[in-house]
Amino acid sequence: MSEMTTEGRTRLNRLPEWAALGKHREQLAGTHLRDLFAADPERGTRHTLRVGDLLLDHSKHLVTDETLELLRDLAAATDVAGLRDAMFRGEKINTTEDRAVLHTALRAPRDAVIEVDGENVVPAVHAVLDKMAAFADKVRSGEWTGHTGKPIKNVVNIGIGGSDLGPAMAYEVLRAYTRRDLTVRFVSNVDGADLHEAVRDLDPAETLFVVASKTFTTIETVTNATSARTWLLTGLKAGQEAVAKHFVALSTNAERVEEFGIDTANMFEFWDWVGGRYSYDSAIGLSLMIAIGPDRFREMLDGFHLVDEHFRTAPPEENAPLLLGLLGVWYGGFFDAQSHAVLPYSHYLSKFTAYLQQLDMESNGKSVDRQGEPVDWQTGPVVWGTPGTNGQHAYYQLIHQGTKLIPADFIGFARPVEDLTPGLVPQHDLLMANFFAQTQALAFGKTPDEVRAEGVPEELVPHKTFAGNHPTTTLLADALTPSVLGQLVALYEHKVFVQGAIWNIDSFDQWGVELGKVLAKRIEPVLTGDGAAEGLDSSTAGLVSAYRALRGRE
């Protein structure tokens, strides 16, 4: 492997800054978080950043001031800031698709100027937001009626991947702000059970389908939308003319939307410079906007923008997305960490980690660099996690006492959601006591001597010892508001960006999802009996044959 990439950039692990980190890692071996805290009584406060409404404590990481300096040196050597500025300027940094990466334009203020191919995209962004707001208001007020004249009571979003996970997650997160008399559901799976369960108790006359697909070619979404149309027209005993009042589309592909039979007047547009997993603050957020109202949606966009500006302008020492990205590079590169847990202490964030899985793993799950050469360093981690207290009674055992290093983000809120939802049981302090206790236990553990001092029999001492030294980030905010959600998502978006920049991979393409799609298209006719099984490997051929036999088709 040569020292240089084809574009003359020194390969990451040949950089002197990388070597310096490797050496530093060796020097740190054997240093425990207990030592770092003992040596510096101010550590907890010194290693805390504030970004908008978020307080970010990174003191419980396996780093010293020197580590952070060396990591920032690496960011400088890999020109993270240069790529960041190119992204914000609208340059085509998604090179394999020759596209700009401008989700930041989706939350830019009206008077901002951001150009793609010489054209300012901000007016178009706001025109769509205004159109969405007008439509959402009409649905919310009952002014928009279905084919039979009834107002809309149910919204069913049909989409998958980025056209599902973002709005579905945000709808859960912001449930306290939603209208209880409006049912909002999300259908993504091509398993017909998903659509069936979503609509079985709904009245078609009161149901609006929001078909969300950037490309409008995604087989799962087109299939579900076609079935939904059949369900609607059968239920209403109506013809194609009923579609206009019950179907809207969110897409970049007007031609396909029209082909499907949705009036392009009912289409909300976005653009190829918005990646699917970066799109829920675009038209893709329409179902969410209907649920929470345009004002709350705009508050969320302001939260995104606040962190965009922070990322763009904060100096490296205070730059939160930079810091989070660097910590991930540190653990992946020098501790061989394979995964990263995100553990929210809020029931409303139950889908947050699932959303982050696409954001992070589809962006940074790459093994060739931007020049197409294989990387020989770790790239994106496996991202996983569920709401914290549930995890405590399930998989935290492995985080505390297993053999793997799992850096984790703990996300919690000071103000209980019961402030917003009167009548909710007041249990917040207990929830948050767990939140604080877990990062403390993970960092400091329990020594054998501490265990012995409790009178534990000697043979049980190793079992009851907690090694500690497990790194965590704590993110604490006042309350789970729309703005805070926007801030959190932007924080993670830019963290992912930083890591992709350092690893020198294209974080904005997703070629790895293509092969399965192509093969599924080839296999489907074999399952139904219209295609020949020739050319299938013996395992797949055997499985397909077993399937056909079980379906009575052999």
Ligand X SMILES: O=P(O)(O)OC[C@H]1O[C@H](O)[C@H](O)[C@@H](O)[C@@H]1O
Binding site for ligand X (CB under 6 A): 160-163, 213-215, 218, 221, 276-277, 362, 510, 513
CB nearer ligand X, residue 150 or residue 256: 256
CB nearer ligand X, residue 20 or residue 523: 523
Residue 521 bears catalytic tag: no
Residue 517 bears catalytic tag: yes
Give me the catalytic one of 259, 517, 521, 554. Answer: 517
Q: How far is the CB of 175 from ligand X (least distance, A)?
A: 23
Whole-number Å distance between alpha carbons of 235 and 531: 34
Helix/strand/coil for 369: coil
Helix/strand/coil for 466: strand
Q: How far is the CB of 156 from ligand X (least distance, A)?
A: 16
Say if strands 54-57 and 48-51 run parallel, antiparallel, or are unpaired: antiparallel
Q: How far is the CB of 217 from ligand X (least distance, A)?
A: 7
Q: How far is the CB of 524 from ligand X (least distance, A)?
A: 17
Give me the catalytic one of 17, 172, 220, 362. Answer: 362
Whole-number Å distance between alpha carbons of 471 and 332: 13
Residue 362 bears catalytic tag: yes
User: Residue 155 — φ and ψ, nearest 5°?
Assistant: -120, 125
Sequence-ordered list of residues with C-beta below 8 angstroms from that of 290, at least 6 positions apart, any chain: 135, 136, 139, 140, 155, 182, 184, 210
CB nearer ligand X, residue 362 or residue 409: 362
Instruction: Give the CA angle between residues 58, 406, 496 to the nearest 5°.
Output: 65
Helix/strand/coil for 251: strand
CB nearer ligand X, residue 353 or residue 465: 353
Secondary-structure percent of the chain, ordered helix, strand, coil, rounded to 5: 55, 10, 35
CB nearer ligand X, residue 1 or residue 513: 513
Half-sphere exposure of 168 (CA within 13 A, CB side): 22
Give me the catalytic one of 237, 241, 393, 514. Answer: 393
The answer to whether 114 touches 122, Cβ cutoff 8 Å, is yes
Q: What are 451's two structure tokens?
A: 């265990």
Q: What are 11's two structure tokens?
A: 């390969």
CA distances from 228 to 6, 91, 162, 200, 223 (A): 50, 39, 20, 11, 9
Say if strands 154-158 and 207-212 run parallel, antiparallel, or are unpaired: parallel
Helix/strand/coil for 160: coil
Q: How far is the CB of 190 from ligand X (least distance, A)?
A: 12
Residue spans of alpha helices (H) in 178-293: 192-199, 219-236, 243-246, 254-260, 286-292
Identify the bridge partners of residue 35 per DSSP, sorted by sequence position. none
Q: What are 257's two structure tokens?
A: 């939307």
User: What is the widest separation between alpha-carbon atoms in the chain?
Assistant: 78
CA distances from 199 to 144, 172, 186, 195, 205 (A): 20, 19, 10, 6, 12
CA distances from 170 to 221, 284, 478 (A): 20, 12, 18
The residues annotated as belonging to the active site are 362, 393, 517
